[in-house]
Each structure stands twice: as C-alpha cells, then as structure tokens.
Chains A and B, each alone.
Chain A
C-alpha cells in the first residue's frame, strides 16, 4: 500500500500549487467560470438574508455553481482529513513554533492549535477574537476588496489584472501587520 502512504504524507508546494493553478483553466473550460470563492459568501447572503439591501439583489442563481464548488471543498476537507489523513503530527518551522510558544500557544500537533480553535472556546474571549472577530474581518474585507486569495491573487493575477495585484499586496500587508503588531497583543489578552 505504498502509494496510499505516499499520498498521506503532506504534499509539497510544487504539487499543490500547480494543482490549484489548474483550477483556473478547468473552471473556464467547464463553463466559463472565473475562479473565486469569496463570492459564495455574497450568494449565501443574497439567497438567505437579502434584507432589501441592493448589494444582495441580483440573480444569485447565476452563482449557484460557486455554492456547489464550496460544498465540494467541504466534502474534500472531509475526504482529505479522514480518508487520506496524515498519521504524523504537522511539522511547524522551529522559528515559528518558538515565537508562538512564547505567545502562549501550546498545541502544535494538528493543522490548527486547539488552544485557539477548540469547540470549547466558542463562548469565550478566545472564540470572540479568533472565530468571530477574525471571521468577520475575512467576510467584510474580501467582499470590500471584491475577492480573496483565490479571486484576486490566483485568478486575477493569472489574467494580469493590476487591481488584483493591488488587492494581493494589501492582503499581505494586512497579514504582516497583524502577525507582528496585533496578534501578540491578542494572544496576550487571552492567555
């Protein structure tokens, strides 16, 4: 069963990156679809809670393909984790592990630290910051920017769209600023 064992190990960037890149032509050729994921959040709002807001008054059914796509991602997450899962603990870069340990993170065994993302954190300050506040920024920011890493960094840059470069650079600046200036403070207050 050597092949399965090989598949279970973490995939390197030069396998994953191109596979993700192939989503671009695949979606275009399958049905003239532009790769993007954050638009699914908009379709969900339009379908469920349009609340007479202009932004959600459009034919969201044209974006139904996007909802099938993210449903697929959820299933893929299940398959990847429970059928093709890595039996070993994740290998985190030593410098990052050291920095995060100093900030109070203790669980380095899985993809997400249970210190922050355990279900039991949901009604705590940790949950409020790392689930609610963080999630809110993701949903608000991606729509304000008109796309996320899929729509702008990958699709937009693949099509040489300079606004997508602006967006991507902004994503990275925001992420750097948060990691080095904001996150240490957030981790401190939930210790």
Chain B
C-alpha cells in the first residue's frame, strides 16, 4: 500500500534518511518572493566559489595531490565557522526569521555514506567539481559542464531507480 506521498510502507525510513540533506524544517510554506532570499544567498555563494577558485579542476587536483593547503583551509575554516555558529544558535536558542526554533535533523548512518561517498569522491576527482561548483562553472561560462550536470541528474535518477537493490 502506498501512503499519501506515494511511498510504500517499508520505504518511509529510507526516504527520511535522505530528506535530511538540504532539509527544510520551516513549518510555514514559502512563496516565490520569500524564496528569493535563497537566490540572493546563492549568488553570493557562487561569487565566493569563483573568486576563491573552489570551482577549479586544478585546485581539486592540488588538494588530492597534497600540493596546496588552499582547499583544506577553505573546508576546514568553513567547518569551524559553521560549528561555532551552530553552537551559538543552540546556546542562545536563536529563532528563525519566522520566529521558529532552529531545528537541524540528525543524520542517520547508512552504508551509502561509504559506498556512495567513495563513488562521489572518484567523480569529484574526475570532474573537479562537487554539485555546487557545477552550477557556478556553468554560470562562469564553462558550458561543457552542462553535460556534466545533466549526467549528474541522470546519476541521481539512476540511484533512485536502483535504490531498493543497493546496500544501505
């Protein structure tokens, strides 16, 4: 039997695991105008990606060859800032713009983090990009990356199709 979302009874748990990435914990739905603020954050984010050369295939190669500290510095300091800010939000019980309590779902362990993680890592070294940089590269004029993005969407789709057959 499928539930209201079209999910089979035994599927919900798997769906939940994945829903936590990029999750929207806000209760109030947002319309077009309200969503524009995420577009603006994205624009600033894309600028940082390009200016710090995070989108560069060469920087990723340097990272995997241990020839430069740059990417480690970026990721490390990003995590540090993220960590401190999450702690501050929790400590001071800061609320969202809408007045809600900030809620971050926990990530449950899943073997996909290992198998999928390894596969993504291989793809990351080949393309020099993780999903975010793909969008920035396209905006930056590397139109061939449109093919990469379409392939990534195809990869996601294939995962969805094969999901119940893969170890989790």
Contact = CB atoms under 8 A, between A and B. Distances in A.
Do the two chains belong together in a single complex? yes
Contacts of A191: none
A102 interface: no
A96 B69 CA distance: 13
B116 A144 contact: yes
A140 B121 CA distance: 11
A171 B41 contact: no
Contacts of B98: 31-32
Q: Most chain-A CB neighbours within 10 Å: which of B45, B74, B151?
A: B45
Interface in A162-191: 162-164, 166-180, 182-183, 186
A21 B5 contact: no
A111 B149 CA distance: 17
A73 B45 contact: yes
Interface string A43-68: 01100010101111111011111101
A29 B62 contact: no
B103 to A, nearest CB: 6
Interface in B4-28: 5-8, 11, 14-15, 17-26
A56 B163 CA distance: 11
A190 to B, nearest CB: 11
B21 A39 contact: yes
Contact of A36 (B22, B61, B116, B158): B22
A32 B102 contact: yes
B21 A19 contact: no
A1 interface: no
Given A55-B15, A155-B82, A81 B140 contact: yes
Contact of B22 (A25, A33, A84): A33
Contacts of A80: 46-51, 136, 139-140
Interface string B85-119: 11011000011111010111111111011111111
Contacts of A177: 118, 121-122
Contacts of B50: 76-77, 80-81, 84, 111
10 contacts: A32-B96, A135-B150, A135-B154, A140-B116, A142-B120, A147-B22, A163-B109, A174-B121, A176-B121, A178-B125
Across the A-B interface, the 8 shortest Cβ-Cβ residue pairs:
A76-B46, A72-B42, A174-B121, A144-B116, A77-B139, A170-B117, A21-B81, A141-B120
Interface of B: 5-8, 11, 14-15, 17-26, 29-30, 34-58, 60-65, 67-83, 85-86, 88-89, 94-98, 100, 102-110, 112-132, 134-145, 147-161, 163-164, 166
